[in-house]
Amino acid sequence: MKHDRPARPPRRAAARRLLPVLMLLLLASATRARAATFYDVSLGLDVGDDARLFLNVTNDYFAPPPAVATRLVQRCPRPENDYPVILLLARASHRPPDEILQLWLSNRSWADIMFELRVPPSILFAGLSRDPGPPYGKAWGHYKGFRGKDRFEISDRDVVELAKLQVASGYYRVSPYAVIGERQRGVRVEQYVADRHRAKHGDEREARGKGKGEEGDQGKGSKGRGHGHGKPGGKPDHD
């Protein structure tokens, strides 16, 4: 005698239908929790609002331990310039970021540090397949002519600008050329990052006050490397 299979209990079927909804709710909750724990690495720094947001995005992108991040930023002579390069080189070389900061404070150039750590210049040009134009065109020309044998010739300023470009494009998952397009319109990378952050999370300046203003690279927090000690030979920082 043939027996009909018993019908599936309605509760189990309802639970299966609710599962995708629950997964979406958990994902949204995790996203909100991550935003709520966005670690402000710039506390105590005398930097402009764009630089503050850029530092925090840089920190969120590389995600060093909070104690390491705070120690690094407080020791960086020019945090918005130094911090992204240090973390980028630390990731590429698998060396502690404190070690890289110490090399920088000993008046080595970024090119010297990359050569010493055997970090290839390709990390600065990730996502670039054609001439990016100004302000990256000169560095691109050196890169295309580089044969990988000797020290890669690049200025400190170009290393800083390219590291910032990698942070912005990597964090927001956009082509570097999208950031470069804004850069060529006169928008600094810090401003690009800060504007995107404000568009998503709102303008936090109302809550924090607008006293510091938009100082950028030339703000009060942009001090010379080594606490006033320039490079050997009197060269300016990030030339």
Rounded distance, CA 110 to CA 117, Å?
10
Higher pLDDT, 165 or 32: 165
- Residue 92 has phi, psi (to 5 degrees) of -70, -35
Higher pLDDT, 165 or 8: 165
79 close to 45: Cβ distance less than 8 angstroms: yes
55 close to 41: Cβ distance less than 8 angstroms: yes
Q: Which amino acid is at 41?
A: V
Higher pLDDT, 213 or 123: 123
Q: Is the dihedral of CA 121, 127, 131, 133 positive or negative?
A: negative
Q: Which amino acid is at 231?
A: K
Q: What is the mean pLDDT of the chain?
A: 79
Angle at 230 between CA 212 and CA 69, to 5 degrees: 50
Mean pLDDT calculated for residue range 72-92: 96
User: What are 87's two structure tokens?
Assistant: 């973390």
Q: What proportions of the chain, in percent to the nearest 5, are helix, strand and coil?
A: 60, 0, 40
- What are the tens digits of pLDDT across the range 65-77? 999 999 999 999 9
- What are the tens digits of pLDDT across the range 164-200? 999 999 999 999 999 999 999 999 999 999 999 999 8
Single pTM value for the model: 0.71
Q: What is the pLDDT of residue 147?
A: 79
Rounded distance, CA 59 to CA 52, Å?
11
180-194: string of b/e by CB count within 10 Å (b at 16+)?
A: bebbeeeebbbbbbb
Q: Quick check: 64 pLDDT over 50?
A: yes
Alpha carbons within 13 angstroms on the beta-carbon side of residue 15 total 5
The DSSP H or E segment spanning 53 is helix 49-62
- What are the tens digits of pLDDT across the range 96-127? 999 999 999 999 999 999 999 999 999 999 99
177 close to 132: Cβ distance less than 8 angstroms: yes
Q: Which residues contact 181 (CB under 8 A, 6 or more apart)?
A: none
